[in-house]
């Protein structure tokens, strides 16, 4: 679990947090993960395949997700990912830190002098 509160570490872990959060809904393939993130953020955050699949591989290598092959909704072979107990614990820890930082940044942006 991360103990550092370095903002650089925070930004590096953002994709990891988004993926793990999406998997709290249950097992999903990569396309479903990226669509959930896009829909949940009203298309503000878009996860490209070139970022998503290497991140999923790193999560699996760290034991934060497991995967297995299955058939997608349109009968195509797809790898399905499931969050592990370790993944849930890491998500709780990192989300807490991320929320603390995001609230701090929001306070700065709302403080006087006004941006407008």
Domain edges within the chain: 7-110
**Averages of pLDDT over each 10 residues, the chain, 116 residues:** 50 86 97 96 92 96 98 93 98 94 94 91
How far, CA to CA in Å, does 46 sit from each of 6, 51, 107? 25, 10, 26
In this structure, how many other beta carbons lie within 10 angstroms of the beta carbon of residue 13? 19
| Per-residue confidence (pLDDT) for residue 5, from 0 to 100 | 53
Residue 4 to residue 11: CA distance in whole angstroms: 12
Q: Evaluate if pTM is beyond 0.75.
A: yes
| Per-residue confidence (pLDDT) for residue 13, from 0 to 100 | 79
pLDDT tens figures, 82-103: 999 999 999 999 999 999 999 9
Is the domain 7-110 a CATH 1.10.10.10 member? yes
| Per-residue confidence (pLDDT) for residue 49, from 0 to 100 | 92
* Nearest partner of 7 among 104, 107, 86, judged by Cα: 104
| Per-residue confidence (pLDDT) for residue 3, from 0 to 100 | 46
């Amino acid at each position: 679990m991360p103990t550092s509160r370095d903002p650089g570490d925070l930004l590096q872990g953002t994709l990891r947090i988004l993926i793990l959060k999406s998997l709290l809904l249950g097992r999903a393939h990569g396309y479903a993960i990226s669509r959930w993130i896009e829909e949940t953020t009203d298309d503000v955050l878009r996860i490209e395949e070139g970022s998503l699949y290497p991140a999923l591989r790193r999560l699996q290598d760290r034991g934060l997700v497991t995967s297995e092959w299955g058939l997608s909704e349109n009968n195509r072979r797809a790898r399905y990912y499931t969050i592990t107990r370790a993944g849930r614990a890491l998500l709780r820890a990192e989300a807490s830190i991320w929320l603390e930082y995001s609230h701090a940044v929001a306070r700065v942006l709302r403080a006087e002098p006004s941006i407008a």
